[in-house]
Amino acid sequence: MPGESAPPRVGLIGAGAIATAHLDAWQALGAECVISSRTRPTALAERFGAEIAADADALIDRVDIVGILAPTPTHLDLALRAIARGRHVVCEKPLALTSAEAQRMADAADAAGVRLLPAHVVRYFAAYRRIQQAVVAGGIGALQTLRLSRAGAGPTTAWFYDESAGGGLIRDLLIHDIDQALWLAGPVTSVSARQDPPSIDGRLSAPVTATVELTHANGVTSRIDGGWLGEGTPFRTTIEAVGTTGALAHDSAAATAGASGVSASDAAPTDPGYLPPQTEDHPYRAQIADFAEAIRTGRPALVTPADGVAAVAVVDAAYASIEVGGAAVRA
């Protein structure tokens, strides 16, 4: 809360791969952490010296800030329970299964006077932030096109491949780059998408790839490619922004090779190959520090609830496009 100096009390619901990054980030701020999970996360708790709550409600009662790291179908219910008790919320992307649910979450936080952070961590990667700042400053003239990609070994947990259970390649992975496109080029008017192979009865088989193409209200076009590929495939992201007077690009493969001063050893040791990896600029710590400062001062965080809702709305449109054979649909 604004003006308070005591370490925050933080509860994390979910103990999957991303929990390590969140625990590290909060403990870097001196937070007292509590974990709750359907499976008792003893090893994770011992590693970080965190306590284990009996269940989500017991956790919410003990903390000031709740981090929702559980599968997407649980996000809305958990967030509403935390918000109803006056807790600030960090919610992993996507905010919810649909943009209507995401908007309900954002509206509840606003009505309760608490803060909600959609955890779009790529905004906190230094390379992506530099490109965004250069575009805003007019460093490449008027932006014309964006090209983004994100691919690596697919997750091993089955729910990711069940679109009706909140998973799916576009909803879970490409939403990072959808958020980037919105950050760099603004609102979207139409969306087209393709997925190969298509899902069958809402289930994906791996490897799977997808392409999402966006037309922005200002005339900029974005193309986003991604995939969950074979086991052992290195995680790699790229971005290229082309303007009327120049272009900017970043390739994580070049960065990990040392071209940007980031070594492969900077990746989080528990990175399973499909999450945005830790780098020497510590984007997960930057994300949490930004949110903590936003709570303390009352200023907006770099990612707003409206940003989280907008990204899910584009995902909704992408799946609607796939349903009609890849034709463009209104966002």
Q: Does 155 lie in the same domain as 86?
A: no
Q: Does 322 lie in the same domain as 237?
A: yes
Q: Is residue 292 part of a domain?
A: no
Q: Which among 98, 71, 82 is positioned nearest to 310, based on CA atoms? A: 98
- How confident is the model over 110-149, as pLDDT tens digits? 999 999 999 999 999 999 999 999 999 999 999 999 999 9
The count of domains in the chain is 2
Q: Does 165 lie in the same domain as 145?
A: yes
What are the angstrom distances between the C-alpha of 153 and each of 90, 94, 135? 26, 20, 31
Count, residues in the chain: 331
- Provide the residue range defining the domain that includes 64: 9-121+298-304
pLDDT in the model for residue 281? 83
Q: Is residue 283 part of a domain?
A: no
Q: Domain containing 89 — which CATH number?
A: 3.40.50.720
Q: Is residue 130 part of a domain?
A: yes
Q: Does 73 lie in the same domain as 129?
A: no
Q: Does 16 lie in the same domain as 78?
A: yes
Per the listing, tokens 């990896």 go with 277
Q: Does 222 lie in the same domain as 210?
A: yes
Q: Does 174 lie in the same domain as 87?
A: no
Do 41 and 70 meet the contact criterion of CB atoms below 8 Å apart?
no
Q: What is the mean pLDDT of residues 281-307?
A: 97
**pLDDT over 50 at 260, yes or no:** no
Q: Does 204 lie in the same domain as 104?
A: no
Q: What is the mean pLDDT of residues 169-173?
A: 96
Q: Is residue 49 part of a domain?
A: yes
Q: Does 105 lie in the same domain as 143?
A: no
Question: What distance in Å separates the CA atoms of residue 238 and residue 95, rounded to the nearest whole number?
Answer: 24
Q: Does 257 lie in the same domain as 156?
A: yes
Q: Does 112 lie in the same domain as 138?
A: no
Question: What distance in Å separates the CA atoms of residue 320 and residue 329, rounded to the nearest whole number?
Answer: 7
pLDDT in the model for residue 257? 61
Token pair, residue 58, equals 């017991």
Q: Is residue 290 part of a domain?
A: no
Q: Does 93 lie in the same domain as 41?
A: yes
**pLDDT over 80 at 83, yes or no:** yes
Q: Is residue 282 part of a domain?
A: no
Q: Which among 37, 27, 30 is positioned nearest to 58, based on CA atoms? A: 37
**pLDDT over 60 at 262, yes or no:** no
Q: Is residue 281 part of a domain?
A: no
Token pair, residue 149, equals 């990609």
Question: What distance in Å separates the CA atoms of residue 277 and residue 272, rounded to the nearest whole number?
Answer: 9
